[in-house]
Structure 1
Amino acid sequence: MTDGEVSGAPRSGTRASRTRRAVWITLAVVVLVTAGIVTALLLRPAVPAASEPTPSPSRSAGPTPPPTPTPTPTPTGFPANSTVYDLAALSQIDVFAVNAGLPIDDDPFGALTGEAATSIGDGAPVFGDPVGQPVGFLPREYTFGGTTAPIIERQEHWVKVLLVGRQSVPSQGNPAQVMGWLRTKDVAIAPLDALVEVDLTARTIDIVRAGVPERIATDFASGTSDTPTPLGRTYVMTTLVEPSFGYTRGYPLVYLAVQSPTLDGFGGADVAVTAFHYHDERSGSISNGCLRVDPAAIEALAALPAGTPVIVRP
């Protein structure tokens, strides 16, 4: 029995060896296959995710157009003038001036800018045409005022303003309200806060501030048919009290830049200036062109600064 056990051991061992060998071969195959799969996955090219496709050059919208160049702004208004002028060689523009080079206001009932210009230094050259030569100069200060001029047009290099003086006396030409051009480099510009509106038909006078009118007169006297009150836009030249004018009863006179359309002069003077003033008789068309008002109205008008625009409507 012992011999039988010994002789049987090799046969049993052989079968076990073959079994172990088969297991190891199977494991080796599995390892090799697994390694091959892993290697294949590692060597496979990356594919972009479907939700984030890589843009294709063939599907491009085309080349990017060149940027549109920014146009150079076109200068507005008249060109700058940097010429230095000798003011002593120019005639002064004041209430007594009769200067054929001063143009007549081309839009008597037009708008204003709400600003006024005053000369810097001794004065500013005045131009009838900004591309021409000066026709006179506006002094910074003058006894009878008129040097603070309301602006009716403003450009980068120029302002168009109303002015005192006349182009001609009535007997020889057009005496209406004059204007002129000043270089912005020669003036200081400041805002105006009021405007006076006169209606000859309605017989009303309003002081307008910020678009809101304040009625200061509901009746007043104005010019006759032979000596009418000038129409259109003008401005306060100066305000003063003249004791020798007894009819004013000591109230101030508010002189305007415009003069009579029919009188070359008045009261022995070479001027015929229009004014607001007090008078005992102050109703109807009875004056030489001035606007006669009551005490409250003249006090309100006298409080306005020089340069305040005044528009007289028919």
Structure 2
Amino acid sequence: MAAGFAAGPVALGSPPPAAVPAATVTVAPVVAVAKGTPPAPGAREPAVDGTRYDLAALPVVDVFAVRPELPVDDDPGGDLTGLVAHPSGAAAPVFAEPGTAPVARLPRTLQFGGTTVPVVVQHEHWLRVLLPGRQAPPSSGDPGQLTGWVRAADVEVAPAVAQVEVDLTARTVDVVRGGERERVSDGFAWGTAATPTPVGRTFVMTTRVDRSFAFTRGHPIVYLGVQSPTLDGFSGADVAVTAFHYHDVRTGPVSNGCIRLGAEALARLAELPEGTPVTVRA
């Protein structure tokens, strides 16, 4: 399954399950480049930008957004910094590159999540983050994991509480906390050759329960920030979001890109806050 919204197979109209904690974001000091995707050789530290922008004039970057101005992750197999960012005000301007005009805004709250995002490059004044939405649908461009730059002054930065690692070859799902690895699943179903599970780094966008989807049997759906590499939309929706979800049939390459898991594994993943980094390896 490639999870859809609104008219799609998974309408995000239900509130998140009570057992799923909201993302807790506290201010942490921003230092020079941490681990994560390193800057280009010889690259200079981006200059501070103290401009006050008209945020209301900027389009929102959310799960439905198609923002051709924003770059796709050019290092999907790269490291993560172990940090997440969240707008400190009503919204944070989003830039394609430091030193340019903003092209979008990331609100502090969104109906379908995606406002707490992993940091993949960290400078003193700027952070490159993973974002919801797409640069383009697959029929007209690159639908890979969207990224953008935010100013450090516009966000609160905190350590990620955990990281999820998925290995499509080994069929394993691990949750890593403080260097300790927990194996939450050693078997699952994944995408077909025509509708593959997207690989690379992404994040938990939101977690919800929708009992109208009988195949989930009331278990939570953990939506990710990345969408299908081959589907423009799904079941009438104009988005095709990848997710972890329950299904009775959860062996082999049978889904539209989602990872089908058992109940116990879903329960563990549903405990993770929004913004938790996820890496999927082939």
TM range (shorter): 0.7 to 0.9
* Alignment partner of 1:303 is 2:271: yes
CA distance in 2, matches of 1:77, 1:301: 37
1:68-83 maps to which residues of 2 (within 5 A)?
A: 77-83=45-51
Among candidates 188, 209, 213, match of residue 245 of structure 1 = 213
8 Å Cα contact 1:95-1:257 kept in structure 2: yes
The residue correspondences of 1:175-186 to structure 2 (distance < 5 A) are 175-186=143-154
| Corresponding residue for residue 245 of structure 2 | 277
In the TM superposition, structure 1's runs of 4+ consecutive aligned residues that sit over 3 Å from their partners are none
The alpha carbon displacement at 1:290 in A equals 0.3
1:160-175 maps to which residues of 2 (within 5 A)?
Answer: 160-175=128-143
1:153 maps to what in 2? 121
Correspondent of 2:180 among 212, 221, 226: 212
Q: Which residue pairs with 2:58 in the alignment?
A: 90
| Deviation of 1:112 (Å) | 1.0
Percent identity for Structure 1 against Structure 2: 59
Aligned to 2:32: none
Deviation digits for residues 62-81 of structure 1 (CA, Å, limit 9, x no counterpart) = xxxxxxxxxxxxx9620000
Superposed CA deviations along residues 234-254 of structure 1, whole A, max 9, x for unmatched, are 000000001111100000000
> What CA deviation, in whole Å up to 9, does each residue of 1:133-180 have, x standing for no partner?
111010000000000011011111001100000000000000000111
Structure 2 letter corresponding to 1:237: M
Q: Does 1:313 align with 2:281?
A: yes
Equivalent residue in structure 2 for 1:255, among 223, 228, 244? 223
Higher share of residues assigned helix: 1
8 A Cα contact 1:76 1:155, kept in partner: no
Letter aligned with residue 214 of structure 1: E
Which residue of structure 1 lines up, in the alignment, with residue 164 of structure 2?
A: 196
Letter in 2 for 1:286: V
What is the distance in 2 between the residues matched to 1:156 and 1:183? 9
What residue is the counterpart of 1:121 in the other structure? Answer: 89
Higher alpha-carbon Rg: 1
- C-alpha separation between the residues in 2 aligned to 1:123 and 1:191? 20
The amino acid that maps onto 2:265 is A
SS in 2 for 1:299: helix
Contact 1:164–1:258 (CA under 8 A) maintained in structure 2 = yes
Give matches, 1:108-147, under 5 Å: 108-147=76-115
Amino acid at match of 1:105: D
Q: Which residue identity does 1:302 align to in structure 2?
A: A
Amino acid at match of 2:139: S
Deviation at 1:296, TM superposition (A): 0.5
TM-score, length-normalised on structure 2? 0.84
Instruction: Kindly report the root-mean-square deviation, in angstroms, between the aligned alpha carbons of the 2 structures.
Output: 1.0
- The residue type paired with residue 126 of structure 2 is W
**What residue is the counterpart of 1:55 in the other structure?**
none
Secondary structure at the aligned position of 2:266 is classed as helix
**Where does the alignment leave 5 or more consecutive residues of structure 2 unmatched?**
1-42
Secondary structure of 1:134's aligned partner: coil
Kept in 2, the 8 Å contact 1:76–1:156? The answer is no
CA distance in 1, matches of 2:91, 2:194: 37
Three-state SS of the structure 2 residue aligned to 1:300 is helix
Checking the alignment, whether the CA contact within 8 Å between 1:258 and 1:273 is kept in structure 2 is: yes
For structure 1, the residue ranges without an aligned partner over 5 or more in a row are 1-74
Aligned residue type for 1:182? V
CA distance in 2, matches of 1:172, 1:120: 34
- Secondary structure in 2 matching 1:153: strand
Instruction: Indicate which of 127, 133, 155 corresponds to 1:187.
Output: 155
Question: Does structure 2 conserve the Cα–Cα contact (< 8 Å) formed by 1:103 and 1:180?
Answer: yes
